[in-house]
Amino acid sequence: MNDTLPSRILGSTGLEVSTLGLGTVKFGRNSGVKYPNQFDLPDDEQIRQLLAQASDHGMNLLDTAPAYGSSEERLGSLLNNRKHWVICSKTGEEFTSGESYFDFSAQHTRASVERSLRRLQTDYLDIVLVHSDGNDLNVINESDCLETLARLKETGHIRSYGFSGKTVAGGLRALELSDIVMVTLNTSYQEEIPVIEHARALNKGVLIKKAFASGHAVLKGQPSQTVQQNLRAVLEQPGVSSAICGTINPQHLEENIAAAIQIG
């Protein structure tokens, strides 16, 4: 069996992404998260091996964020072959002293992207998404965050931009103003499918978060079967380019990759 992940074009961005992306919140943060089990942060060598494992199977999409603790900085120092990776980071949410706060102003958006560039030790970001606080329409309509990202795209600091939201109304509005949406989709939550369908009609990119419901979905039944069922529900949805799945467990990564390869 082919051991390389298939890839798909991300809307009209021109970016080609593996159908499975690696979420990296667990690289840099283990407090204030919603995973079912506690965990220790991996050391540098564990991250290197995980990145090599992912790369060897053709995975090229990495998802990080300023709110993921030290994730950006660790990736910046540990990534090899920058050109292989499509790096998605975010702006809007900060996590300090165990709590999140949000700032969607133009000044903060620009400063956040510039800081991500420094931390990731790169001169461009492939994708930057607005990390919504859940008040999606207010964030989009009452702040300059998307407009600021559009200007950063014009200057070449970022290649594409979009919105990681929590509502159908926000996702639909974001599609009018950006390149990509990141939406939640799994076997127990499908409310945002209208956003995916509209994105497909507009040829906009769709990334999926919480395909395993932050790990809770995999606790039920046989793990390998559950992984397959959850990923199939996501990757067979027309318009979806990639599912972001976070793990620091090499066995889980291998199972996720095998399932995604089988789905095609």
The catalytic site residues sit at 68
Q: Which residues pair with 26 in a beta bridge?
A: none
Q: Are 127 and 88 in contact (CB under 8 A)?
A: yes
Tokens representing 13 are 């961005």
DSSP at 189: B
DSSP at 184: E
Cα-Cα-Cα-Cα torsion 52, 85, 261, 44, nearest 10 degrees, comes to: 30
Give CA–CA dist 141/44, Å, rounded.
41
Q: Are 117 and 157 in contact (CB under 8 A)?
A: yes
| Among candidate residues 89, 22, 19, 10, the one with its CA nearest the CA of residue 52 | 22
